Amino acid sequence: MDPNQNTGSFGAAIGGSDALKEAMQSRGMDTSILDQQSPASAGGAPSIPIPPTATNPSVGTPDAATAALTPIQAPPPDSEVMIATKALATVVTNDSKMKKDLVSLRGQGVV
């Protein structure tokens, strides 16, 4: 076995891919899978480009990526929503002040 051949950590432990092929063949197993390369690997790439599908026609188009990154301008909130938000903020602020005052009074022994 070539010592410079990259067989990965598993392949190095068993003597490389040739030893694995021999072991599989001696057991009557198909070894063609060892000659294949995954499209996800560094050197592997699909030989056929992936076409857009009917359910997702934007697969693989740069326009889809650009559209996904483009911020969407939200409409301004209604005046009723603004009033409700301000009222809620006031309630939260007052509640927080009341709790701080209660803790302060308990610390002084008043309550």
pLDDT of 17-73, one tens digit each?
A: 677 788 888 888 888 877 766 656 655 555 555 555 555 555 555 666 677 777 777
Tokens 């301000």 sit at which residue?
86
Kindly report whether the global pTM for this prediction surpasses the value 0.85.
no
- Give me the torsion for CA of 17, 18, 23, 25, rounded to 10°: 110
DSSP 110: -
**For 71-100, how does the pLDDT look when each residue is reduced to its tens digit (9 = 90+)?**
777 788 788 989 999 999 999 999 999 999
Distance between CA 80 and CA 89 in Å, rounded?
14
CA distances 81 to 74, 84, 88, 90, 92, Å, are 14, 5, 11, 14, 17
At position 55, the amino acid (one-letter code) is T
